[in-house]
Amino acid sequence: MTETLGKTKTIEMMAVVKDKPTEGFSYVKKEINTDLHEDEVLIKVNTASFCGTDLHIWMYDNWAKKRLKLPLTVGHEFSGEVVKIGSKVKRVKPGDIVSAETHIICNECEFCLRDEGHICENTLIIGVDTDGCFADYVKIPAQNCFVSDKSSNPLHLSVQEPLGNAVHTVNHFPVEGKTVVIVGCGPIGLMGVDVAKAYKAKTVIAIEVNDYRRNLAKELGADYVINPITDDVLSTIMKITDNRGADVVCEFSGNKTAIETAFRYVKAGGGLSMLGIPSEEIKINVADDIVFKGISIYGVVGRRIYDTWYQVKDLLERNLLHLDKIITHQFPLSEINQAAMVMNNKNCGKIILFPGV
C-alpha cells in the first residue's frame, strides 16, 4: 500500500463533507492529494467516533456558521494506520496504529513554549479548521499522532481524544477519596463518571436530564444519579454530603442553571473543573460562592499535550475503564446522517463510525 501511494499524487476516497449551509452532511467521492509536507503523515482511517462538535456542524448552528469555511471534510476523533510519511517525519513510521491529538499547535507562541500547548493562541482543529477524519484517509501533522498498541481494541482507540477531555477535567483536582459531582452525562460526562471511579473517588454523583444516560451513569458505578427536572439538585447534594458540599465538581453540561447551582454546592476549598460551554450569560455570587469559600476554578481546554494522552493510555492498559458500556451505537460511515439523528435525540452514549462500509 505504501509503495503504491508513493507513485500516485491523488487517490479517490469516500468522505463526509459539509458542503451546504443547511442541516445535514453529504457522503461523497472525492480525491485526496497524497503529496505530503515534510512534517505530515497520511493515515488510513480504521474507526472514527461522533462528537458533539460534529453535531453542531451537522445542524449548522450559529457557531458553525461563524466558524466554518465550506466545503469541509468533517470529523476529528479516530484511529488508523499510517500509510505514508513526510521526508522529515521521525515520530511515526508506516504501519503504526495511531490516534490524533486534534489541536494543531504552532510550537512558537508563549503558551507552546512554556509547555501549555493546549491553550496555544494559534490552534487549528482537525475537522473544523482543516479537513478531518470522516473519510477513508486523512492527512495530519506527524506531531499530532499518538502511537497505540496494535493489539488494542480499535473501538477504544478511536475515543481516546474525547476520553482525554474527561481525564483532563476529572484529574485536574485530586479525586481519590473525594466526593465528585459529574454535571451532564453526555458521552464525555459518562466517561467522566468512569474516570472518577477509576481514580478511586469515594462518592460519584451524576446529574443528567436524559433517562437513557442516567441509566448508563448507574451502570458505570455512579453512587447517586440526580434528575434535575424532578429533583432539587442543591438540597440533594447537600444532604448526601452532610451539608458540606462536593469536593470536586466536573461541569460537562454547559447548562446555565446547572453551572449556577454548581457554584452553590461545591465545598469550601473545593475545585470546579469546567469543560461545558454555556450559550447564555452566567450569574454567580462571586463573594459568597467563590471568594469566601476559597474555591478553585479550572477551565478545561482539550487535553494537555501529551500528559493527558499518557494518562489515558495508562487507564486503558490497566483495564480500569468500561468503554464498551459507553460505546452504544455503531454505524457505517455511509450512514452518517442516521448517526447524527441518533446523537441529536440523545438516547445514546458514544457512536462509532466505520469508513469503507
Catalytic site positions:
53, 56
- How many whole angstroms separate alpha carbon 160 and alpha carbon 149? 13
d(CA 100, CA 147) in angstroms, rounded, equals: 9
Residues 6+ apart with CB under 8 A from 22: 60
Encode 207-257 in three state secondary structure.
ECCCHHHHHHHHHCCCCEEECCCCCCHHHHHHHHCCCCCEEEEEECCCCHH
**323 touches 330 (CB < 8 A):** no
> For residue 25, which phi and psi values (nearest 5 degrees)?
-120, 160
Rounded Cα–Cα distance for residues 135 and 73 (Å)? 8
Cβ atoms < 10 Å from Cβ of 148: 20
Rounded Cα distance between 126 and 103, Å, is 7
Residue 354 has what DSSP assignment? Answer: E
In sequence order, the 6+-apart residues with CB closer than 8 A to the CB of 339 are 50, 329, 331, 351, 353
Which is nearest to 351 in space by CA: 16, 128, 54, 81?
A: 54
